[in-house]
């Protein structure tokens, strides 16, 4: 099911420029881009992962994490191998970095309509393109998303935000929500730990908001890398400058993959980061990977009443059917909240 890729340009000597993500790889014939799943074959760029599904599960939408998008519903979640980052701390490296580490491209060949049929059969209200980086399998994600939209199923990207504006514009008519990793607020972090840059991620977050896509943001807090008060204030201030209603998820890091300079993030660091979010005016800030913590719950920004209780799954949603706080009638930001 190898297919011709989209969003590329032919240059001299049959080199191609891939414009799918912000690496803008110039790829010689017979070579692959940074993601290792897009290959130049005699001057034509092909995707090597179209329909090769490496993971598919029915997940609560809260696991994406999306806390303000159809809470309590299930999302049919899929991925192929591959990523356009090389994060040394990756929490899903077994599939996202599989090609980089073992040169293997694998997965169950699946037609787009099968994904949609499976989502309908599982009574999922959305399809999430997640686990790895959906940008690198965007051709397949787009075909699935178009069919899903026709059937009334929402579409979600869980992404590092490194797609180009052209890619975002291409898929945005089908895209309803996204959780974007804002991994840090320094070029050093992105360069040294991810093999990427910060600026394109900030541009994608801004563009998604402008295009009307529901956005939530996640930061994986790594001790001594992105957990300084200064940097957390910069992240929170950036989010607040776009919209104080954007939910910010601050997740606890656990040692994984190739990164060995830090242990488990102290729970107190996560809670302090949450406080910084509120100090910057954000209305919805959450702790992640701290099961049972109060920071997983949604509270009314005006009266402080508990709106959604999260203790694993299922959740308890106290928001009215009008999407308002039952205590003070404040309209709660999000989609399908009541």
Give 48's pLDDT tier (boundaries 50, 70, 90): very high
Dist. CA 286–CA 238, nearest whole Å: 17
With H, G, I as helix, E, B as strand and everything else as coil, classify residue 279: helix
Around Cβ 21, how many Cβ atoms within 10 Å? 27
Give 239's pLDDT tier (boundaries 50, 70, 90): very high
pLDDT at 42: 98
pLDDT at 140: 98
Place of tokens 């406080």: 275
- Mean pLDDT within 15-26: 98
Average pLDDT for the chain: 97
pLDDT at 285: 98
With H, G, I as helix, E, B as strand and everything else as coil, classify residue 278: helix
Give 312's pLDDT tier (boundaries 50, 70, 90): confident
Terminus-to-terminus CA distance in the chain, angstroms? Answer: 41
Whether the ω angle into residue 65 lies within 30 degrees of 0, i.e. cis, is yes
- Mean pLDDT within 66-95: 97
Give 205's pLDDT tier (boundaries 50, 70, 90): very high
Residue 283 has pLDDT above 80, yes or no: yes
Residue 1 has pLDDT above 80, yes or no: no
Beta carbons of 148 and 186 less than 8 angstroms apart:
no
Give 2's pLDDT tier (boundaries 50, 70, 90): confident
- Mean pLDDT within 69-74: 98
Residue 313 has pLDDT above 90, yes or no: no
Give percent above pLDDT 70 in the chain.
100
pLDDT at 110: 98
Question: What letters, b where the CB count within 10 A reaches 16 and e where it falls short, cover 145-160?
Answer: bebbbeeebbbbbbbb
201 phi, psi to nearest 5 deg: -65, -45
Place of tokens 């939530």: 216
- Ranges of each domain in the chain: 3-47, 52-282, 297-338
For helices 229-242 and 199-210, angle between their N-to-C axes, nearest 10 degrees: 30
pTM of the model: 0.98
- As a CATH number, domain 52-282 is 3.20.20.70
pLDDT at 325: 98
């Amino acid at each position: 099911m190898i297919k011709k890729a989209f969003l590329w340009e032919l240059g001299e000597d049959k080199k191609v420029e891939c414009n799918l993500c912000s690496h803008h790889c110039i790829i010689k014939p017979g070579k692959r881009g940074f993601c290792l799943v897009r290959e130049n074959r005699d001057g034509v760029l092909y995707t090597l992962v179209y329909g090769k599904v490496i993971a598919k599960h029915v997940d609560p939408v809260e696991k994406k994490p999306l806390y303000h998008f159809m809470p309590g519903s299930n999302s049919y979640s899929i991925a192929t191998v591959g990523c356009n980052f090389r994060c040394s701390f990756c929490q899903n490296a077994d599939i996202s970095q599989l090609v980089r580490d073992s040169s293997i491209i694998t997965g169950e060949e699946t037609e787009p309509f099968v994904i949609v049929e499976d989502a309908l059969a599982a009574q999922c209200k959305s399809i999430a393109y997640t686990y790895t980086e959906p940008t690198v399998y965007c051709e397949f994600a787009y075909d699935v998303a178009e069919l899903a939209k026709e059937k009334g199923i929402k579409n979600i990207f869980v992404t590092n935000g490194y797609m180009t504006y052209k890619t975002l514009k291409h898929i945005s008519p089908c895209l309803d929500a996204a959780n974007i990793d804002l991994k840090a607020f320094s070029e050093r972090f992105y360069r040294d730990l991810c093999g990427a840059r910060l600026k394109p991620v900030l541009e994608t977050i801004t563009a998604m908001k402008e295009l009307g896509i529901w956005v939530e943001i996640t930061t994986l807090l790594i001790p001594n890398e992105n957990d300084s008060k200064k940097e957390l204030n910069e992240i929170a201030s950036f989010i607040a400058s776009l919209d104080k209603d954007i939910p910010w998820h601050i997740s606890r890091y656990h040692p994984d993959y190739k990164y060995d300079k830090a242990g488990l993030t102290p729970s107190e660091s996560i809670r302090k980061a949450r406080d910084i979010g509120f100090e910057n005016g954000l209305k919805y800030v959450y702790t992640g990977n701290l099961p049972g913590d109060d920071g997983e719950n949604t509270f009314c920004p005006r009266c402080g009443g508990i709106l959604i209780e999260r203790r694993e799954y299922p959740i308890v949603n106290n928001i009215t059917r009008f999407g308002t706080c039952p205590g003070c009638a404040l309209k709660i930001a999000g989609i399908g909240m009541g």
